[in-house]
Amino acid sequence: MDDDDPIYTVEQARAMLPLIRGSILQLAVERRRVDDAHDALHHRLHGGGGGGPREQARLEAVNTELRARVRDLLDHLESLGIVIRDLDEGLVDIPTLRDGERAWLCWRLSDPTLDYWHTTHEGFSSRRQL
């Protein structure tokens, strides 16, 4: 965490949860599309598909576009100071202050609301209830 990263109150972070949740869910969809497109390109490159050079170029373009979508979603969250710790779990840390010290508000997709935090020197296993 850098000194110029944004800092959020618990209320501000909770208000951002719909945006964070939507971004995490969209990332899961886009990652699946990337995996499928990668598999199709891999299959094509190893002689399993027809269509010639045009089809290969199309598949490469699709792969590039999908990877850019994933990168854009990740960049957007990062621009807000949100750190994705585990994309499969939808685990994120949101910068905050606790007792005047920098800390992380800790949330994952399966959490109904934002109820946990941990210091910047700890991780998920050390999270404590707010």
Break the chain into its structural domains and give their ranges.
10-129
The pTM assigned to this predicted structure is 0.82
> What's the rounded mean pLDDT across residues 87-94?
94
Q: What is the pLDDT of residue 51?
A: 66
Asked whether residue 36 carries a pLDDT value surpassing 80, the answer given is yes
Mean pLDDT to the nearest integer, 8-34: 94
Residue 39 reports pLDDT greater than 70: yes
Indicate if the pLDDT at residue 27 is higher than 90: yes
**CB-based contact 85:92 (threshold 8 Å):** yes
Mean pLDDT of 51-68: 82
What are the C-alpha distances in Å from 21 to residues 29, 41, 90? 13, 30, 8
Decide which of 121 and 46 is more confident.
121
Question: What does the mean pLDDT of the chain come to?
Answer: 89
Q: How far apart are CA 68 and CA 116, in angstroms?
A: 32
Q: Using the predicted structure, report yes or no on whether residue 120 has a pLDDT greater than 80.
A: yes
